[in-house]
Amino acid sequence: MSDIHMPSTVHSAGARFPWAALLALSMAAFITILTEALPAGLLPAIGQGLGVSEAGAGQLVTVYAIGSLVAAIPLTTLTQGLRRKPLLMTAIVGFLIANTVTALSTSYALTLSARFVAGVAAGLLWALAAGYAARMASDHLKGRAIAVAMAGTPLALSLGVPAGTFLGAILGWRACFGLMSLLTVGLIVWVLAKVPDFAGEPAGQRRTLRGVLTLPGIRPVLGVVLSFVLAHNILYTYIAPFLAGAGMVERTDAVLLVFGLASLVSIWIVGMLIDTRLRVITLTSIALFALAAAMFWIWRDTPTAIYAASAIWGLAFGGCATLFQTASAKAAGPAADLAQSMLVTMWSTAIAGGGLAGGLLLERFGPESLAPGLLLLIALAAAMTFAARDHGFPAGPREV
């Protein structure tokens, strides 16, 4: 299996780990997730500020997801030959513009347009991030580099979104988006100072979408992403009605805090082991998610068990983006960015599908049907991972 292409002048096996550059990418991931998720915690205030209903304000999340979904593959395909750092900067500046417009706009239509632009920027950034991080590290540390770059994701979910919601109640929702713009200005300076540049792919080496899809291991990775992330988003999207069945709807924030803190532990563990234990950690994450779903099903009326299951769920999910992006990047080799754009699209599809599938289960069979539905999807992810022993999720030299 080919590895990620990298100019030999960038590093050597003895080069120092590029913490400053990777943490800049992590900050970019933090801002991306915060931009995506923050409106969900501020819907009433945003609706009032823009003169629309809460459902109308909720479309700020929808158009962001649509932007990511439709832009990731076309933009990555069209920009294969461009230098990487200017492309990264373009995505980050996209967030600066979108969040600034959101903070200042009094027009619902203009705000929706800004959110779509933010989604497009997110699709491009996610397609770049894993391959960019891997290029900065030595061969034996590529997985750890991706883990560091992705650490901003669980930080944003577990700390950034609750903090932003809290500040929104005090300072107002516009101030929150203004603060994100200030963070983005700082990030731009950081990237300019610390993140190296890389050449794009030469014209003769660029791959087509079909060519990347036929690479050994790519399709199993995409299949696991769809099933695993779909299961997660069914539960995450409808966690409040699920908890209502146990009389815990008022403790939704506490349950999600437990999930978020466990996610931070997960990404640390994954970062330590991913370069030598990719297959084992992936199977372990799937097994933990299955255990959590089973506990949610069997002990759905027991608060203590729900908290424990939430922690196990966080351990399963926190590092999964790093696992899947590393598997995709290694399977794709020089075509890593294009493969990542497919992964981003599959991930966005799973987010949208989670809302749809979970809603159907909730309406037809009630909240008690969510956990069994999760187990079916998790079983599918496990089967595909087991089958991808040679390519996609291969056994390492010290794995059996």
b/e sequence 114-135, b meaning 16+ C-beta within 10 Å: bbbbbbbbbbbbbbbbbbbbbb
What digits encode the pLDDT tens for the residues 55-84?
788 888 878 888 988 888 899 888 888 899
User: What pLDDT does residue 125 have?
Assistant: 93
User: What pLDDT does residue 396 have?
Assistant: 67
What digits encode the pLDDT tens for the residues 110-125?
999 999 999 999 999 9
Asked if 21 and 194 touch (Cβ cutoff 8 Å), the reply is yes
What digits encode the pLDDT tens for the residues 187-242?
999 999 999 999 877 766 667 778 888 888 999 999 999 999 999 988 887 887 88
* Inter-CA distances, 242 with 157, 245, 246, 262, Å: 20, 6, 7, 20
The model's pTM is 0.79
User: What pLDDT does residue 394 have?
Assistant: 87
Give me the helix-helix angle, 336-365 and 108-135, nearest 10°.
130
Q: Which domains does the chain have, with CATH numbers?
A: 19-205 (1.20.1250.20), 209-387 (1.20.1250.20)
What digits encode the pLDDT tens for the residues 12-41?
444 688 999 999 999 999 999 899 888 877
Q: Kindly tell me the sign of the dihedral angle through the C-alpha atoms of 293, 244, 369, 300.
A: positive
Provide the mean pLDDT of the chain. Answer: 86
* Inter-CA distances, 276 with 22, 326, 339, Å: 20, 12, 22
